Amino acid sequence: MDPVRFETSPAAYKHWTLDLSVAEKTGVARLVLDIQEDGGVRPGYALKLNSYDLGVDVELADALQRVRFEHPEVRALVFTSGKDRIFSSGANIYMLGSSSHAFKVNFCKFTNETRLYLEEASQESGIKSLAALNGITSGGGYELALACDEIYLQEDGNSAVSLPECPLLGVLPGTGGLTRLVDKRKIRRDHADVFSTLAEGIRGKRAKEWALVDDVVARSKFVETTTQRAEALAAASARAQAKGAGIALAPMELTRTEEGGKLVSTYKYVTLSIDPKSRVAELVVRGPDHAPPKSGEELRRLGSVGNWALRAFRELDDALLDLRFNFLEVGLLVLRTRGDLEKVRQADEALAGLVSSGDWLAREIQLLQRRVLKRIDVTSRSLFALVDEGSCFAGSLLEIALAADRVYMKDDEEHEDAIRVALSSANFGPMPMGNGLTRLQSRFLRTPEQVGKLREQTAPMHTHEASKAGLATLTPDAIDWDDEIRVAVEERASMSPDAMTGMEASLRYGGPETLETKIFGRLSAWQNWIFTRPNATGEKGALTMYGKPERPTFDMRRA
């Protein structure tokens, strides 16, 4: 299969239409889902009944990103279908049935991230969302609705909402459906139990009574009612106060080469190098090469190409997704940085200053950085950060090291001024993990007072200072550095990928549980396990037998 690419644009959309025709006047944009049956990312299945695959979600993620950066006039989004009597039947079952286990899990993970970004757009950017379900809505289609602020179902004797994965496929709703039912919409457990085992779903009055939807509306009044409600959401949005134009998200400049048996993807500020033989990848992020923008006007003049804070993190996001889907055998990702510590800190503080002044675009850049760092947190690869000569692990780039499973920092007195780490305001609040804590707070759960002490640390730290402060895991000296790193890398890459993925997912999220950590925890554990069980994907499993005349055969022993 050809490599999956995650960069697109509205002109290239096959399945979504972003309708901005009345946004300037009302603040409302419409995302209309009209999926092309023959428009899958690979052959072998038809996307019937507005069922979706990864390509549909790639377009949705792009549309949400463009609304946030390019269209400050949009304060509410309406999701609806371009097909009659069907909103979405969810993820395409034949696509799932013909996909590898790894692809299924990564597909669910990307879809989860996109739904969470939609919720973040509401919570952090004031872009409210309304699901106008003008037909049958099942599985992932309903999970998209659950990610919206409000859900309206057409009353026509046909339209219903359902999560049919358990009764029909022997798997779970893979994009947070069960969690959002009870955690977000706070639906009673017994009602959720009945709903999640009814393949035909629930419609009309009962759907409203059980809070599965906010209201049901007659077909004759559906468009008018949902439009009025969306306009009310837009009028009440905090984004109505946003001043200043948006910026276009320019295409990323990427070159791919083969160098000494390694596959190298090179962007302006990011390089991803894959060594298939050793199953190790190296990711290098370069720091700023220009002074940061000091005003909103300069921020907009630089656009998405000239602003390091935006461009570097967009490139990093693309590289992480490339690694996730296209290089499954890589077990270890080595994280490096190159550049000037002070320039990174200056970029962070300049951005923070614009955010504190109320500049909505600066805030969106900071939120993008937060989202990309969360992508690192859920990366199913071992992560080692290496701090050596020329590194610029400071502020927002130090967050990359703090997301790693280990931080190796070279101890070399002869070059100690070239081997330092530094903190900025980016480390103390604006970029929390999915558990709601900063990476420093998550790191120092046992000694929370250490975070306060680090806040007072304004000077860059050499290796011994960083180790004493708890920011480095191991500090090999210059003589042993190469050998210790080589041995550690080879050892980690040789371990069971299943055990490492499970271990890392368990260790990365200490502290409180949130809707987000529950979604990813359950995806990593239960859904991952269920996808491999014979009852789901075995020769006679429910997912395998879907659409065939024979019934699935279950091993009825409970584990």
**Where do the structural domains in the chain lie, given as residue ranges?**
10-241, 255-501
Per-residue confidence (pLDDT) for residue 532, from 0 to 100 = 87
- Bridge partners for 90 per DSSP: 51
- Bridge partners for 16 per DSSP: 33
Q: Which amino acid is at 145?
A: A
Low pLDDT (below 50) residues in the chain:
none
The upper half-sphere exposure of residue 32, i.e. CA atoms within 13 Å in the direction of its Cβ, equals 13
Residue with tokens 């997704």: 321
What's the CA angle centered on 284, arms 1 and 281, to 5 degrees?
Answer: 45
For residue 478, count CB atoms less than 10 angstroms from its CB and return exposed for 0-12, middle for 13-18, buried for 19 or more.
middle
Q: What are phi and psi of 461, to 5 degrees?
A: -115, 130
Separation between Cα atoms, residue 408 and residue 472, nearest integer Å: 6
- Bridge partners for 274 per DSSP: 263, 281
Greatest Cα pair distance, the chain, in angstroms, is 78
Per-residue confidence (pLDDT) for residue 524, from 0 to 100 = 65
CB 426 within 8 A of CB 348: yes
Q: Give CATH superfamily name and number for 10-241.
A: 2-enoyl-CoA Hydratase; Chain A, domain 1 (3.90.226.10)
CA–CA distances in Å: residue 354 to residues 44, 244, 346, 347: 49, 12, 12, 11
Same fold, 10-241 and 255-501: yes
Question: Which tokens in the block code for residue 477?
Answer: 């000296």
DSSP-assigned states of every residue in 470-491: T--SB--BTTTHHHHHHHHHHH
The CATH label, of 3.30.1330.20, 3.30.1510.10, 3.90.226.10, 3.30.365.10, for the domain at 255-501 is 3.90.226.10
Per-residue confidence (pLDDT) for residue 175, from 0 to 100 = 83
Query: Whole-model pTM?
Result: 0.96
Distance of CA 49 to the CA centre of its chain: 26
Per-residue confidence (pLDDT) for residue 1, from 0 to 100 = 62
Q: What are phi and psi of 433, to 5 degrees?
A: -80, 180
Q: Which amino acid is at 2?
A: D
Per-residue confidence (pLDDT) for residue 397, from 0 to 100 = 98
Residue with tokens 């457990």: 189
